[in-house]
Amino acid sequence: MRVQFTEIELEQQRRVKSAFDPEWLLNTAKVFPLQANTPSAGPDDLPRAA
């Protein structure tokens, strides 16, 4: 995804996902790569919507 989108765009998309799925239970790591591509990364590692 980083080839198609900049890091800023990915962060914005993650914030929208967090607004609708705050626990990141739906399709975890299938739509957006998790931060740092670590298997332990989860919703707490991502920026929250304001």
Condensed to tens digits (0 to 9), the pLDDT of residues 6-35 reads: 889 988 988 998 999 998 888 877 776 666
Q: Spell out the domain ranges in the chain.
A: 7-45
pLDDT(2) > 80:
no
The predicted structure's pLDDT at residue 40: 44
pLDDT(37) > 60:
no
Report the residue count for the chain.
50
Helix count (H) and strand count (E) of the chain? 1, 0
CA 9 to chain centre: 11
Band (50; pLDDT cuts 50, 70, 90): low
In 1-50, the DSSP E strands lie at none
pLDDT(39) > 50:
no
Q: Is 47 left (phi over 0), alpha (psi -120 to 50) or beta?
A: beta
The predicted structure's pLDDT at residue 49: 64
